[in-house]
Amino acid sequence: MTATWQFWAFLSAIFAALTAIFAKVGISGINSDFATLIRTIVIIAALCLFLSITGQWQRPGAIPAKSWVFLVLSGLATGASWLAYFRALQLGDASHVAPIDKLSVIFVAIFGVTFLGEKLTAINWTGVVLIGAGVILLALKI
């Protein structure tokens, strides 16, 4: 089971949910950008430890230039996402911020089709629309 993408995606969703809850409590009384820095330092330390324990370090020179470019772009996008997410959490309720953040699912579907040539069926697009509707319903403050 741990060899499937579904298992790891589900685990990612659980940790993402915990991220929102822990962050909402943790940013109380401090600047959200500084909180993002603390979070980033923790992630770097944890990943260094993980790579050391599992022996997965790689020589940076062996990584293709294209990979470097897109990993740097991904890192910049991640950083921007985290800064925006923490600012939103500081200003709003986690139960309203997190669903809007999940609009990323819709953007990934659109970008995947547009830029990566991925194919979605009618039922897949129905799911995308339903996710959008769900985000709207969850974000409403009624």
DSSP state of 89: H
- Residue 132 belongs to a domain: no
Domain that holds residue 90: 5-101
Count of domains in the chain?
A: 1
In 3D space, the residue among 16, 42, 2 whose CA is nearest the CA of residue 102 turns out to be 16
Distance CA 91, CA 32 (A): 10
135 vs 83, 95, 100, 123, 140, CA distance in Å? 21, 11, 6, 18, 9
Q: What angle do CA 71, 19, 105 make, to 5 degrees?
A: 60
- Residue 32 belongs to a domain: yes
- Residue 62 belongs to a domain: yes
In 3D space, the residue among 69, 108, 95, 100 whose CA is nearest the CA of residue 84 turns out to be 100
- Residue 51 belongs to a domain: yes
- Residue 139 belongs to a domain: no
- Residue 131 belongs to a domain: no
- Global pTM reads 0.85
pLDDT tens, 26-39? 999 999 999 999 99
Distance CA 21, CA 27 (A): 10
Tokens linked to 46: 């944890």
pLDDT tens, 81-118? 999 999 999 999 999 999 999 999 999 999 999 999 99
- Residue 112 belongs to a domain: no
Q: Say which amino acid occupies 116.
A: L
- Residue 47 belongs to a domain: yes
pLDDT tens, 47-75? 999 999 999 999 999 999 999 999 999 99
